[in-house]
């Protein structure tokens, strides 16, 4: 039997090249080897967007279409919506008994996010405990592997602790899942000073038009210490070269440009123009596939509904095992 994978995204906007490099590319490869489930974590996205639910609801279809556009095949990967699985909320309540407030407050990712979001001392409970709900996402499916970026590792560790604790107290129901950390480091944004992130406005989106792509590439930062095109330049951390190495399939061209750049024998414009062509060639088939789905909203709806129905079936089975183990199956005539 194939091992089961769960991975997913918070729907808070369209997906960008950073998502592609960090997870989507990997997903497309994993779907042939594993039974893959992809969660669109709208309930989790609401934990820090609860005042603007439209931002979340408008992003759900975008995220699904971005996943389909890069090549996820709904015949191989089950895409489902978190809010369509009420058992996740039910499990979260049971799991909350197994986690202490002090344990949650030590989660480094949540700590960092609390700082970034300026919650101060007014941290919403829902946000504070989202790792418990993420444990329910993973455990209701009894996933074997969870492909994630390294910022998610504390959540997987928390999930494992919850699964062990549940199994010890009530009897074994849950598999202990494992994180699968991609080897790809986070992709830098177009200004080179931080990772690509929607909130920083430094993204190239998978759905960007040719014109937008051109504008963004032409205003990318390069080597900040190089003033004239005849100065020797640095290519290792130079974002234009980082993208060339990742997205330009013409390795000969990349090596040749880098050699000239290091000697001060090529201008930024030429390097950027070549990057624009490479990125446009990379994005064009993705845009085309996205257009196919954009023109067929009913097909997208059907993919979402079928995927969520399939995940819900799994949730019903797990939930009845959970209630049986906890001895709370009296509702319905077992008194």
- Residues of the shown chain interacting with ligand TRP in the complex, contacts defined by CB under 6 A: 6-10, 39, 41, 44, 134, 137-138, 146, 148, 152
Which helix (DSSP H) or strand (DSSP E) does residue 145 occupy? strand 145-148
The distance of closest approach from Cβ of residue 139 to ligand TRP in the complex, given in angstroms and rounded to an integer, is: 10
Cα dihedral angle (59, 126, 107, 146), rounded to 10 degrees? -50
Number of Cβ within a 10 Å radius of residue 143:
24
Residues 6+ apart with CB under 8 A from 150: 181
Contact 135, 163 (CB under 8 A): yes
SS percent in the chain: helix, strand, coil, step 5: 55, 10, 35
Q: Which is nearer to ligand TRP, 8 or 189 (CB)?
A: 8
The distance of closest approach from Cβ of residue 146 to ligand TRP in the complex, given in angstroms and rounded to an integer, is: 5
The distance of closest approach from Cβ of residue 152 to ligand TRP in the complex, given in angstroms and rounded to an integer, is: 6
Contact 151, 103 (CB under 8 A): no
Q: Which is nearer to ligand TRP, 130 or 170 (CB)?
A: 130
Cα distance between the two ends of the chain: 38
Q: Which is nearer to ligand TRP, 98 or 139 (CB)?
A: 139
The distance of closest approach from Cβ of residue 208 to ligand TRP in the complex, given in angstroms and rounded to an integer, is: 21
Q: Which is nearer to ligand TRP, 138 or 206 (CB)?
A: 138
The distance of closest approach from Cβ of residue 314 to ligand TRP in the complex, given in angstroms and rounded to an integer, is: 14
Q: Which residue is nearest to ligand TRP (CB)?
A: 41
With vertex at residue 186, the alpha carbon angle to CA 181 and CA 188, rounded to the nearest 5 degrees, is: 175
The distance of closest approach from Cβ of residue 310 to ligand TRP in the complex, given in angstroms and rounded to an integer, is: 17
The distance of closest approach from Cβ of residue 79 to ligand TRP in the complex, given in angstroms and rounded to an integer, is: 13
The distance of closest approach from Cβ of residue 324 to ligand TRP in the complex, given in angstroms and rounded to an integer, is: 25
What's the CA gap between 324 and 327, in Å, rounded? 5
Q: Which is nearer to ligand TRP, 41 or 322 (CB)?
A: 41
Q: Which is nearer to ligand TRP, 146 or 190 (CB)?
A: 146
Q: Which is nearer to ligand TRP, 155 or 287 (CB)?
A: 155
Query: How would DSSP label each residue in 282-293?
Result: HHHHHHHHHHHH
What's the CA gap between 195 and 187, in Å, rounded? 6
For residue 24, give the DSSP letter. Answer: I
For tokens 């750049």, the residue is 261
Q: Which is nearer to ligand TRP, 95 or 276 (CB)?
A: 95
What's the CA gap between 87 and 178, in Å, rounded? 22
């Amino acid at each position: 039997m194939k091992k089961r994978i769960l991975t997913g995204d918070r729907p808070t906007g369209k997906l960008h090249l950073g998502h592609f490099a960090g997870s989507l590319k990997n997903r497309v490869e994993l779907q042939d080897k594993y039974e893959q489930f992809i969660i669109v974590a709208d309930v989790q996205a609401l934990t820090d967007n609860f005042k603007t639910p439209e931002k979340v609801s408008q992003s759900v279809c975008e995220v699904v279409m971005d996943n389909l556009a890069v090549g996820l095949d709904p015949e191989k990967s089950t895409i489902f919506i978190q809010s369509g699985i009420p058992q996740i909320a039910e499990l979260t309540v049971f799991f909350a008994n197994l986690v202490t407030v002090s344990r949650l407050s030590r989660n480094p990712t949540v700590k960092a996010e609390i700082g970034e979001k300026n919650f101060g001392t007014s941290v919403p409970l829902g946000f504070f405990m989202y790792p418990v709900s993420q444990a329910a996402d993973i455990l209701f499916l009894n996933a074997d592997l969870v492909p994630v970026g390294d910022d998610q590792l504390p959540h997987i560790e928390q999930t494992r602790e919850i699964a062990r604790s549940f199994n010890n107290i009530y009897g074994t129901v849950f598999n202990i899942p494992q994180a699968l950390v991609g080897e790809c480091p986070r992709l830098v944004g177009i200004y080179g000073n931080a990772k690509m992130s929607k909130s920083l406005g430094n993204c190239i989106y998978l759905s960007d038009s040719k014109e937008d792509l051109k504008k963004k590439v032409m205003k990318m930062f390069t080597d900040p210490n190089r003033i004239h095109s005849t100065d020797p330049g640095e290519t290792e951390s130079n974002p234009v070269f980082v993208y060339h190495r990742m997205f330009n399939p013409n390795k000969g061209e990349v090596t040749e440009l880098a050699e000239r750049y290091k000697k001060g024998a090529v201008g930024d414009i030429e390097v950027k123009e070549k990057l624009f062509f490479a990125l446009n060639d990379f994005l064009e088939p993705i845009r085309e596939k996205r257009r196919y789905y954009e023109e067929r909203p009913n097909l997208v709806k059907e993919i979402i509904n079928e995927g969520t129905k399939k995940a819900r079936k799994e949730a019903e089975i797990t939930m009845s095992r959970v209630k049986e183990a906890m001895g709370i199956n009296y509702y319905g005539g077992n008194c």
